[in-house]
Amino acid sequence: MMAARETNTLRGELRCDEPLARYTSWRVGGPARCLYRPADVEDLAVFLRRLPADEPLLWLGLGSNLLVRDGGFPGTVIALQGRLAEIEVDETQLYCGAGASCARVARAAARAGLTGAAFLAGIPGTMGGALAMNAGAFGGETWERVVEVQTIDRSGRLRRRPPGDFRVAYRHVEGPKGEWFVSALLSLEPGDVAAEQARIRTLLERRAATQPTGQPSGGSTFRNPPGDHAARLIEAAGLKGYRIGGAEVSSKHANFIVNTGDATAADIEALMRHVQAEVEARFGVRLEPEVHRVGVTA
């Protein structure tokens, strides 16, 4: 266990009544009561210690796989985009902060001649989010590579924890209550730099060809049910292109709901419910959201 360095003043950026639409990949969402962008992990520890014990907290990276309702979030958002984003490589291990984007981690590993992290290029989020949900893409999953994580609690205490302290499953991670990820140590293998960089380019080209990367979305909307794919079921139900308000089931990939320009969070959530109902009525399968929904309705 480690204690964060003491300091007397906050060095991060605090905003009040901050619209969250600008922080989410769906480009929807009402305001947060407060939003804090920490300068570093020590500054984050100081800020957390000053919060009331019952203050609701939301940790936000790139805002993918997240639907913030139109009434906003009645608490404090810790925004890590561009913060806690350090990446260090040492032989066959890579250290990264929770705010580092998965794509940056993939590229850094490739430049260092390490293989095993290319799949991260297909995850449109930060490592903190990838750790929290065991994010995966193109056959790889985050926790397959984790050697150790560092967490922080409300009192600002930092702990180093092995994977054995967590229950990890498909798009699901359970760990000690009241702790959040601030960094991770990954184990990778030596390889060819050019080959790994080529693999990343191929994966990104495949993603652009099969997913609506040019439109605001939350990433994959539903988890794949056992032995099947959510996209196949949604498409088979005839829902590609179906719209509610400004939200639409993507015609490019049925498991993506896109914001066509003027969608509200209510539109997106209503469309999610419609998709669930139609798929269940047609195939007897209840699709479970992969997207995390937070906040209050307007």
- DSSP codes, 98-153: TTSBHHHHHHHHHHTTEES-GGGGG--SBHHHHHHHT-EETTEEGGGSEEEEEEEE
Q: What are phi and psi for residue 2, nearest 5 degrees?
A: -125, 150
Contacts of 271 (CB under 8 A, 6+ apart): 242, 243, 244, 247, 248, 249, 257
Matching residue, tokens 């929904």: 293
H or E element at residue 68:
strand 66-68
Output the CA–CA distances (angstroms, integers) from residue 180 to 18, 115, 117, 183, in the order listed: 22, 27, 22, 9
What token pair was written down for 5? Answer: 């360095």
> Within 13 Å, how many C-alpha atoms sit on residue 104's CB side?
19
Catalytic center residues: 171, 220, 290
Tokens at residue 197, please?
A: 């960089």
Q: Are 130 and 101 in contact (CB under 8 A)?
A: no
**CB atoms < 10 A from the CB of 206, how many?**
13
